[in-house]
Chains A and B, each alone.
Chain A
Amino acid sequence: MTAPSTNTAKPATGILALLKTAFINALVALVLFSLMVGIRTEAGSSGQLTYWTRFGELASLVAIVFGGSIVIELLRQWIGPTGAEKLVPPALQSGMSLIGRYLTPALLIFTLLVPVIFYDQRYILDLAILVLTYVMLGWGLNVVVGLAGLLDLGYVAFYAVGAYSYGLLATNFGWSFWICLPLAGILAAFWGVLLGFPVLRLRGDYLAIVTLAFGEIIRLVIINWQELTGGPNGVSGIPRPTFFGIPLDNSDEGFAARLGIEYSPTHRIVFLFYLILALALLTNWVTIRLRRLPIGRAWEALREDEVACRALGINTTTTKLTAFATGAMFGGFAGAFFATRQGFISPESFTFQESALVLAIVVLGGMGSQLGVALAALAMIGGFELFRGLETYRMLVFGMAMVLIMIWRPRGLIGHRAPTVFLTKAQAISSDLVKEGHG
């Protein structure tokens, strides 16, 4: 498993090795399934133990494992990163690089046109808004996990802080969305720093566990602090966003009436779409700028080697805190948007599953890559909807797809790092060299 490249170089010995691996896998499957599937036990009518054998099913399972491991190993060698250079013809390679160059602008233009193309399809517009929300969350978490290399399993806490900040400020004081949006970001950043302080000494697994706990604590506080947050009932009646003060409804003061066009509920959806697009692009722009500033370089250096950072006089404490705060701030913005879109928030929206999903998007996208995160969000959220027709098998297919992607591209969809500064020519750096951080 450690050196599959030798297999591709010598296919003759590869086949033997392949069969050997498949045989071993099948043997393990046989041992495992012989008790789980091969023998079935049940309590009989008078309480005695009855059992019967199911060797047919057992044999077919073992055969599936045998065949499957051959297929997966073959796919690994053909499509996987190790053999990719040798097997991809040059024409295809130049085509790929052409696609790579125009993918970002093409995606951006397409995204801008989505409300125009799919104006009548409410479902697609809603889905696009959802995808963009996760793109923004992914980009926000990317600062913490991808750049600074700090594994954060409680990112949803900042999303919740942002959502509740807007929800409570708007319902209690009647403040507008545009005042609450920066406040939500600031409050989330504040909580980011609060979380950052105690966990600064922790690394790796320990950091992940504490951030996970932090996410749960925020959720439990929201559930139990009933006077403020309404507990499990949530906050309802959160005001919808206005077009800079002009409501998007069918009143006489509304957006449609002022423009003299016929009112349609889609106006609000389109507005929400562009709002989240603007927020996501802001996140992206700020992250790209930050990467080229000393603070961004310090984040990446921290991910590469913390001891060396200290020897160069970099204050690792504040550097980590700023990463936490920046990531949390974007999470807070996204949370405020979520609250205004839904009009109702409850603790159920901020479970660990959300953190895991956003983290999966960052890891799948390729840590530190902006385009990769966007593509991964599209694949994760959009792809999940695509498999809706499969009903109960949806999770199975989806999990399988994730496993396959991780086998082929263990460092994510976009597996290389672009340098932040160059003298003559910017060369992409192979992900083999880039560290993942120790937390």
Chain B
Amino acid sequence: MNGDKILTVDRLTMRFGGIVAVQDLSFDAERKKITALIGPNGAGKTTVFNCITGFYKPSAGAIRLAHDDGRVIALERLNDFRIAKQAKVARTFQNIRLFPGMTALENLMVAQHNALMRASGFTLLGLVGAPGYRDAEKRAIDLATDWLRRVNLLDRADDAAGNFAYGDQRRLEIARAMCTEPALLCLDEPAAGLNARESAALSELLLSIRNELGTSILLIEHDMSVVMEISDHIVVMDHGVKIAEGTPREVRDDPKVIAAYLGADEEEAVAVMESGT
């Protein structure tokens, strides 16, 4: 834990009325690494995610994002779309949120909205068909094509996203998030609902995003095979507080983690203990 940090969460607290969903949570995510946030159901993982990505405003605490160029952005002060636009934090959703009536390519073009808006002179240049905008659009289509190829959906580029199989939708949503060219990619249970083969492909995709593009990834995941295989660092939460963190091996052997999972769900506890052995 002494590497270059991209995300620093400091004493984050989130209260909903009288309920404390997250309490004094502090952790870091390293640059160009995969950090996983795990914990039993109801531990407050998604709440943390929503605080980081601006969907909730934290009750207390600080969330700092350090960009490659040295800029440090206080995420808790930005809201809503600005986190994605200015801080370059992209996210996916636990229940997939694609634009079902638009094609896969269109989904990826919408993700490049801000870059294309600038290129189209906030619509005015684009309306008259300025060559600068046409080039920008061509580049946007190239980027989208590239991502469709990476997630193995190139032959379905012109199909409506709503027609895709579940696993394909998951991959398309990751491709869409990556088309915003994020500094930090936040994935909320990317392996949920995938079969073993699809999970393996997902692990491969996430590793290639880290290794080839150097994008930092923060993910919530229940699928322990995925978490243990790809994570560089794991943070374990239970009842809104951090109970452990470390490398996959350290976390797996931590008695507090095992206890938390045993208390919550036997199957998951077994999965934690058995994974990797």
Residues of A at the B interface (CB closer than 8 Å) are 286, 289-290, 293-295, 297-298, 300-301, 304-305, 307-316, 322, 417, 419-427, 429-430, 433-435
Q: Which one of B102-110, B190-198, B207-215, B247-255 contacts A?
A: B102-110
Question: Are A433 and B100 neighbours in the complex by a CB distance under 8 Å?
Answer: yes
Residue of A nearest to B101 (CB): A434
Query: With the chains together, A226 CA to B154 CA distance in Å?
Result: 63
Residue of B nearest to A431 (CB): B101
| B233-265 interface with A by 8 A CB criterion | none
Residues of A within 8 A of B34 (CB): none
Q: Which one of B22-30, B40-48, B89-97, B224-232 contacts A?
A: B89-97
Question: Are B160 and A430 neighbours in the complex by a CB distance under 8 Å?
Answer: yes
Q: Which one of B60-68, B69-77, B111-119 contacts A?
A: B111-119
Which of A294, A295, A304, A316 neighbours the largest number of chain B CB atoms within 10 Å of its CB? A294
Question: Are A297 and B158 neighbours in the complex by a CB distance under 8 Å?
Answer: no
Chain B's nearest CB lies how many Å from the CB of A14?
A: 28
Residues of A within 8 A of B137 (CB): 421
Residues of B within 8 A of A433 (CB): 100-101, 160, 162-163
Q: Show 14 A/B contacts (Cβ-Cβ < 8 Å), sorted by A.
A: A294-B112, A297-B106, A298-B110, A300-B99, A308-B98, A308-B99, A310-B55, A311-B90, A311-B97, A313-B82, A313-B83, A314-B114, A421-B106, A422-B157
Q: A295-B117, A301-B110 are in contact. Are A425 and B123 (CB under 8 A)?
A: no
Q: Does B166 contact A (CB under 8 A)?
A: no
Chain A's nearest CB lies how many Å from the CB of B246?
A: 30
Question: Are B158 and A293 neighbours in the complex by a CB distance under 8 Å?
Answer: no
Q: Which of A289, A294, A308, A313 contacts B97 (CB 8 A)?
A: A308
Question: Are A426 and B111 neighbours in the complex by a CB distance under 8 Å?
Answer: no
Residues of A within 8 A of B109 (CB): 294, 297, 420-421
- Total A-B Cβ pairs within 8 A: 140
Question: Are B123 and A293 neighbours in the complex by a CB distance under 8 Å?
Answer: yes
Residues of A within 8 A of B162 (CB): 433
Q: Which of A293, A298, A312, A425 contacts B176 (CB 8 A)?
A: A312
Q: A295-B123, A427-B158 are in contact. Are A312 and B102 (CB under 8 A)?
A: no
Residue of B nearest to A425 (CB): B158
Question: Are A429 and B160 neighbours in the complex by a CB distance under 8 Å?
Answer: yes
Residues of B within 8 A of A286 (CB): 127
Residue of B nearest to A417 (CB): B101
Question: Are A311 and B127 neighbours in the complex by a CB distance under 8 Å?
Answer: no
Question: Are A422 and B80 neighbours in the complex by a CB distance under 8 Å?
Answer: no
Residues of B within 8 A of A312 (CB): 81, 84, 90, 110-111, 113, 176-177, 180
Q: A293-B127, A305-B98 are in contact. Are A311 and B91 (CB under 8 A)?
A: yes
Q: Does B13 contact A (CB under 8 A)?
A: no
Residues of B within 8 A of A430 (CB): 160
Q: A298-B110, A301-B102, A315-B81 are in contact. Are A421 and B141 (CB under 8 A)?
A: yes
Question: Are B99 and A289 neighbours in the complex by a CB distance under 8 Å?
Answer: no
Residues of B within 8 A of A421 (CB): 103, 105-106, 109, 137, 141
| B109-137 interface with A by 8 A CB criterion | 109-114, 116-117, 120, 123, 126-127, 137
Question: Are A423 and B141 neighbours in the complex by a CB distance under 8 Å?
Answer: yes
Give B155-170 as 1s and 0s: 1 = Cβ < 8 Å from A's Cβ atoms.
0011110110000000
Residue of A nearest to B158 (CB): A422
Residues of B within 8 A of A310 (CB): 54-55, 80-81, 84
Residues of A within 8 A of B85 (CB): 313-315
Which of A304, A316, A430 neighbours the largest number of chain B CB atoms within 10 Å of its CB? A304
Query: With the chains together, A300 CA to B99 CA distance in Å?
Result: 9
Query: With the chains together, A311 CA to B177 CA distance in Å?
Result: 9
Residues of B within 8 A of A422 (CB): 103, 105, 157-158
The 3 closest A-B CB pairs, nearest first, are: A434-B101, A313-B84, A313-B85
Question: Are A314 and B102 neighbours in the complex by a CB distance under 8 Å?
Answer: no
Chain B's nearest CB lies how many Å from the CB of A142?
A: 16
Q: Does B59 contact A (CB under 8 A)?
A: no
Residue of A nearest to B116 (CB): A294
Query: With the chains together, A286 CA to B177 CA distance in Å?
Result: 30
Query: With the chains together, A293 CA to B116 CA distance in Å?
Result: 8
Residues of A within 8 A of B159 (CB): 427
Residues of B within 8 A of A419 (CB): 102-103, 105-106, 158
Question: Are B116 and A424 neighbours in the complex by a CB distance under 8 Å?
Answer: no
Question: Are A420 and B113 neighbours in the complex by a CB distance under 8 Å?
Answer: no
Query: With the chains together, A304 CA to B110 CA distance in Å?
Result: 11
Chain A's nearest CB lies how many Å from the CB of B98?
A: 7
Chain A's nearest CB lies how many Å from the CB of B215?
A: 16
Residue of A nearest to B127 (CB): A289
Residues of A within 8 A of B91 (CB): 311
Query: With the chains together, A212 CA to B253 CA distance in Å?
Result: 63
Question: Are B141 and A293 neighbours in the complex by a CB distance under 8 Å?
Answer: no
Query: With the chains together, A308 CA to B93 CA distance in Å?
Result: 9
Residues of A within 8 A of B111 (CB): 312
Residues of A within 8 A of B82 (CB): 313
Query: With the chains together, A295 CA to B82 CA distance in Å?
Result: 17
Q: Which of B81, B117, B127 contacts A316 (CB 8 A)?
A: B81
Residue of B nearest to A293 (CB): B126
Residues of A within 8 A of B116 (CB): 293-294
Q: Does B35 contact A (CB under 8 A)?
A: no
Query: With the chains together, A244 CA to B160 CA distance in Å?
Result: 47
